[in-house]
Amino acid sequence: MAEKMKPEADVGLIGLAVMGQNLVLNMADHGYRVAVYNRTTSTMVEFVTEHPDTPGGLIPCKTLSSFVRHLKRPRKVIVLVQAGPAVDAVVTQLTRYLEKGDIIIDGGNSIWTDTIRRERELVAKGIHFVGSGVSGGEEGARFGPSLMPGGSKKAWRQIRPIWNAIAAKVDRKTGRPIEGAVPGKPVSGGVACTAHIGPDGAGHYVKMIHNGIEYGDMQLICEAFMLMKQLLGMSPGEMSKVFSAWNRGDLDSFLIQITADILQQRDPANPRHFLVDAILDAAGQKGTGKWTSVNALDMGVPAPSIAEAVFARCMSALKEERVGASRVLHGPRHLRKVPRKKFIDAIKDALYCAKICSYAQGFSLMTEATREYGWKLKFGQIAMIWRSGCIIRAGFLQKIKDAYDRNPRLPNLLLDPYFKRKLHTAQAHWRYVVSMASTTGVPIPQMMSALAYFDSYRSKVLPANLLQAQRDYFGAHTFERVDSPRGQMYHVDWPTDERPHVRVR
């Protein structure tokens, strides 16, 4: 495999783990010639050897200098390495060889603040930096991911043909995913699930919100599973049929679909049993859900459902503690009898209502981020990008796109006519499910949290007046009055019943 030095590669990729390999093959299937480099040379050699007949062709490179020399100008380099210091290290090495006008694209799960910093540093050197969210897992990377690039518009114009080609596609009229891609034969036509998100870290920020919403979707589905198992005594096989039916209606989504598949899978080690029952109930996480929750706290945006999904994973990890606690901490003694069909219908509505709240929180975070960072995020467009290729792809996203088409300045999804109507008609079932779970001791933290969010958001009055009085009492933090203009602050020397208010300017 002698290395040629003629610039002939359309794009290059560094980092040949599973995601990187699949993205390379996706680009090659669309006719792009791809230069590849990996820190461990043997991994690169093995990968190229296993794929000798890709339509676009692969160019193996053993050194970074030869990798860069193979790239056509302006050079486009995709970096897919572990987020954090590894990205900084690769970027530092690359800048020794790149020139003004070249483009580095970070396709990993970097935190958006790092992307803002890197973009600022590289712009000063005349090099473009794009932070692009890539969602869809291994299969998405291979046959069409959802792509969320952030960076300069000039850089976007350079990478747009590649991103449009390799992204997932939806039907132009129906918005439904176009599927059927196989190695060497990608899908054609339709609308690409990608668009320029905004400057600097906007793409990675939106990808983080996607992942936070993904945490919420997964937890809600798990809570529906828990309710059916503990209150209805249903087997995984029976539940699989329910999820399959739900996938043909309002809850149509990738995660509902794979849940139906998972629940019918028999245990290879014991085919008489279902595999899900043999899996330890201790969930892992990579941190993007936590980032979303921390960002919500930093910006003062209520996102309790997303945070609750993160905490649910943290609670699941306390397996040994929970086993011990189960021996000494007891809930209700008797489970109430629950009518199966009615309760399954109620769970479906509760899941849908809580899902609306979870997405509303994610989009509220993006709304605040537009003010915080000066981005002009197009929420309908973002919903469209998520309709295929990504983990949260669902028919539900078309409703969100429609909502922002109706009102681009919509302050909260709950106020859209469609979602408002859904919440009004389904909340009785939602409350029924939450009350049943509470009285029977079944943990459904996210459905409960979402209901509290809904009730808080629709409340004209909350008990924060007492809270402000408490703060003023012990810390002289001041308060506003209902009969004075907003922003006019007062203080009282507590305890008092006659002394006048002190107006604070």
Instruction: State the DSSP code for 336.
Output: P
Of 234, 449, 431, the C-alpha closest to 360 is: 449
Beta-strand pair 128-135/103-106: parallel
Q: Which helix (H) or strand (E) holds 170?
A: strand 169-170
Contact residues for 228 (Cβ-Cβ < 8 A; gap 6+): 234, 238, 239, 242, 344, 347
Q: 320, 416 in Cβ contact below 8 A?
A: no
What span, in angstroms and rounded, lies between the C-alpha atoms of 217 and 237?
A: 21
What span, in angstroms and rounded, lies between the C-alpha atoms of 5 and 34?
A: 14
What span, in angstroms and rounded, lies between the C-alpha atoms of 469 and 476?
A: 9
Active site residue ranges: 207, 214
Q: 61, 15 in Cβ contact below 8 A?
A: no
Question: Rounded to whole angstroms, what are the CA distances from 233 to 106, 239, 257, 335?
Answer: 47, 10, 22, 11
Instruction: State the DSSP code for 339.
Output: -
Sign of CA dihedral 359, 365, 371, 373: negative
Q: 227, 437 in Cβ contact below 8 A?
A: yes
**Residue 115, Cβ density class (10 Å: 0-12 exposed, 13-18 middle, ≥19 buried):** buried
